[in-house]
Structure 1
């Protein structure tokens, strides 16, 4: 059905509308002006359609243009956008198009043609009563506003009264409370009058005793505070000496520079030669001392405040109130940042070793080779590979140009000596005394782990066994698969990773167990590394992380994990001079390099 809204306006500005033939729109998709209305079909029809409609439906009642409903409703159905709303269901209180009437309201008994139904709405008592009700409702709303204003005044007054009463009662309670205490004091004063002399004497003694105890307590606390300050100052004394020594070095170097420049300026070659020789000796001393200052470790500590019950008896009996607990440098959390990747044709890196600030060694187990890299500031340069006839596992530094490598299958340790350009000068074979895997060099001895027997052995550099640790006090195996180990910076402790038990064990050189670390965040531990402060770094192959532990194996933090690109790490090495941490991974062609 098509609808048209006329653009012309009547003199009274009423919109002139006309209805179009619904049959034309429905069957021909066209439109013509409606001149009649079929009461039974409830359709508007044009002149032509009226003629055919009368022939086809002779019994239908047809209203002409004057008597047909004139109040047209042109809103479209929300469910059927192409249909006009023509009906209203009084039973459902809902408007409907022809489709809605046929489908949704077919069982409703009171569905009427909307224009017909609304034709007498203007004269209906119901609409008149509704308008009156609307007027009454408007009046009620205005009256309600006045009522709310009146109630607001009541509420405001109630609030003011309650606030005033609350304040008045509060003042009364406080005054009563004070008066009660004053009554207690007055009562005491009244009783005191009976034995005034005795009570005054007792009071005097009480004041004197309290004053003396208070003075002694203040002295005790003050002394404890003073001792603590002295201990803090004493702890930092060495650092002040180091700073003073550094200032002396700066002054000495400046004086040497001035002397040499003056001798060179005036052309006194003999004097220049002597001063140069003296300056050379002095610079060597300055260089050594500067290195020591750079690697000086400050003493870390924290104040431990004792938990004391806050009552007079406990405070008077307490002899210590706080202590200065030293914190080992290894317990400080490290921060890392990615530096760069070292890429190569790696297959399975079992061990890494920093031979010098500029040289990194990597053992590739499956490719049976030792890979040598030259390290620069922010990249690496591949130097060469050294092939072997069997698979290498562990590596340790013996000197600046010598390393020791374990070969598990051959049960052999090989000493490899390099030239200045990292060419191999010599290889010496040493008996491995079993399926040797992890290895470290310390105090002119090798410390070697044996994964088949679950033991740790200390041997001379020629291979002679000095000590062996395999059983605990109960005769049980101390380790299952101790594949890697390393030594503390002070050469006093041996750290062993057991990949089967998921543990890291700290041993003394006498074989005593100082600590064992184990938790769910370290799975299948592999190679270990230590820094100059004694912090221990452990590869968790199956947990995909690197853990930082303190020298006594207290957990500090997870230093590196998958977020840093680490997957199944197996090898790790640390360079003290450049503060770099190198991490190798299983079946991965890259070594990750981090700055600490």
Structure 2
């Protein structure tokens, strides 16, 4: 167990950025001999815990993740233990929480007798659940809270022959380092409401090369094709229900999601209606990659791959942790390598990254999210999220770390809903879900400077 702890610490040894938070944590730890580091995922909880161990010699500390690991504690030799992810890593694990509750009094007795020091890392929902279940046990009283901005900085060891190692499921694009010197500059607005429409609300869009945008309008249940250069609506098709997720296909074709079907179009001076693919179940979203269509279903949360004739090729069942969250996969983006996808759930203020086997790779929950909608995955590994109720667009890494606001009210952004990128011209388009119909009728254009 000691060897495993040493390996774990070396793998997670990074330099914690916030000196003030580190000092406060050390003060509390010295005073109470216990410390709970709580905060959202990827905010630096483990980094801070590993930093706290730096004053102890190897062999005198243990890092444990399961209640059964308590048996490895050797009082008199083990000076401090770190309990990682108390109550569950990705979501609350009631069974795990109950097992830890059974060990709580024993551990607290060792602390009171001066035989042990304890550091605990815990997500906020799990901490609240533990506090309620333990009836505000004094062991849970010494805490330090981290925010999404309390990020960690990778320890550079290139001169010593070491490099940053990433999980094998991540690509080199995921090492994207947010370039703080680069900013998005507002260019202009494009009116996308036709003269005979009273209102307009663009909920999704995609680029149609060389210079057109296909977009869905929720207000009049239509699909529009807009020429960016002259800001002209080239074509408009209305449906029996709200369309969603216009998705570009090879050979100048387009797919759009409707209740029960995926409607296909060819694009030649407008939309030409093709065949429809019938769907079995409630499909929330579609995307295209690896020469197949991906259809995302709710209850149960599964992803089906289809060919252009509508034949089911395979089914990706999302892992139980994701199923338990009861997510609604409405807003989806495919990563550039087509090896994983992102899910934005506006009801639960949640972002997920999931691989093609249905396993969760990363999660970003709450952390300032307020009704997030469309999500955009860029070729450099960065991810953009429309944080609708906060009137901001967030940028982060592929693993949801290093989140920052890149567009907001000062950039003329209000309730961002849909987002799209024109790589040839380095231009981003953002629509609005504002209650103001004039704002909804226009797309904002930005360029990277």
Q: TM-score range by the shorter chain?
A: 0.5 to 0.7
Q: Does 1:414 align with 2:284?
A: no
CA contact (8 A) 2:224 2:235 kept: yes
Runs of 5+ unmatched residues, structure 2: 1-152, 166-171, 194-198, 435-439
- State the partner residue of 1:489: 336
Q: Distance in 1 between matches of 2:429 and 2:252?
A: 20
Q: 2:318, 2:358 within 8 Å by CA — same for their partners in 1?
A: no
CA distance in 2, matches of 1:469, 1:595: 37
Match of 1:27 in 2: none
Residues 183-213 of structure 1 deviation map (CA, whole Å, 9 limit, x = unaligned)? xxxxxxxxxxxxxxxxxxxxxxxxxxxxxxx
Counterpart secondary structure, 1:527 = strand
C-alpha separation in 1, matches of 2:316 and 2:402: 25
Taking structure 1 as reference, are residues 543 and 456 closer, same or farther at Cα in structure 2, changes over 3 Å only? farther
Q: In the TM superposition, what whole-angstrom CA distance separates every residue of 1:329-357 from its partner, at most 9, and x where no partner exists?
A: 53333520001101132522110111113
Q: Which runs of 4+ in 1 moved over 6 A?
A: none
**Residue 361 of structure 1 pairs with residue 214 of structure 2:** yes
Render the CA deviation track for 1:382-441: whole Å, top value 9, x for unaligned: 32212222210112111251111001xx3111111111x2x2233210013223232110
How far apart are the structure 2 equivalents of 1:589 and 1:411? 28
Matching of residues 216-231 of structure 1 within 5 Å: none
2:195 matches 1:344:
no
Q: 1:504 to 1:417 in 2, by over 3 A?
A: same
Instruction: Provide the C-alpha distance between the structure 2 equivalents of 1:579 and 1:464, rounded to a whole number of angstroms.
Output: 36
- Cross-structure match for 1:330: 176
Per the alignment, in what secondary structure is the counterpart of residue 477 of structure 1? Answer: helix
Distance 2:276 2:353 in 1: 29
- Is the radius of gyration larger for structure 1 or structure 2? 1
Q: How many angstroms apart in 2 are the aligned matches of 1:546 and 1:475?
A: 25
**How many angstroms apart in 1 are the aligned matches of 2:215 and 2:291?**
23
* Corresponding residue of 2:223: 370
Shift of 1:371: 1.4
Q: Is the 8 A contact 1:340 1:594 kept in 2?
A: yes
1:589 and 2:437 are equivalent in the alignment:
no
Q: Please report the TM-score for the alignment, with normalisation by the length of structure 1.
A: 0.43
Structure-2 separation of matches of 1:474 and 1:506: 13
Distance 1:357 1:391, change over 3 A: same
2:365 is equivalent to residue 514 of structure 1: no
- Deviations 1:75-107 (CA, angstroms, capped at 9, x unpaired): xxxxxxxxxxxxxxxxxxxxxxxxxxxxxxxxx
Larger relative contact order (C-alpha < 8 A, sep ≥ 6)?
Answer: 2
Higher helix content, 1 or 2:
1
Deviations 1:49-80 (A, max 9, x none): xxxxxxxxxxxxxxxxxxxxxxxxxxxxxxxx
Matches within 5 A, 1:20-35: none
Q: 2:396 is matched with which residue: 530, 549, 559? A: 549
The answer to which structure has the higher strand fraction is 2
Once the two structures are superposed, residues 530-583 of structure 1 have per-residue CA deviations (whole angstroms, 9 ceiling, x without a partner) of 222121111112222111121222233111112222222211111111111111
CA RMSD of aligned residues (A): 2.6
- 2:62 maps to which residue? none
Give the 3 Å change call, closer, same or farther, for CA 322–519 of structure 1 in structure 2.
farther
Equivalent residues of 1:303, 1:322 under 8 A apart: no
Alignment of 1:424-443 (within 5 A): 424-443=271-290
Matching of residue 569 in structure 1 with residue 416 in structure 2 = yes
SS of the equivalent of 1:351 reads strand
| 1:455, distance to aligned residue in structure 2 (A) | 3.9
Q: Within 2, Cα distance between the matches of 1:500 and 1:535?
A: 23
Q: Confirm or deny that 1:525 pairs with 2:372.
A: yes
SS in structure 1 of the partner of residue 390 of structure 2: coil
Where 1:323 maps in the other structure, the secondary structure is: coil
Q: Which runs of no fewer than 5 residues in structure 1 stay unpaired? A: 1-300, 307-319
**Does residue 238 of structure 2 align to residue 387 of structure 1?**
yes
Cα 1:467/1:576, change in 2 over 3 Å: same
Q: CA deviation at 1:322?
A: 5.6
CA contact (8 A) 1:524 1:542 kept: yes
TM-score by length of 2: 0.57
Structure 1 residues 389 and 556: alpha-carbon distance in aligned structure 2, compared to 1, 3 A threshold: same
Aligned residues: 277
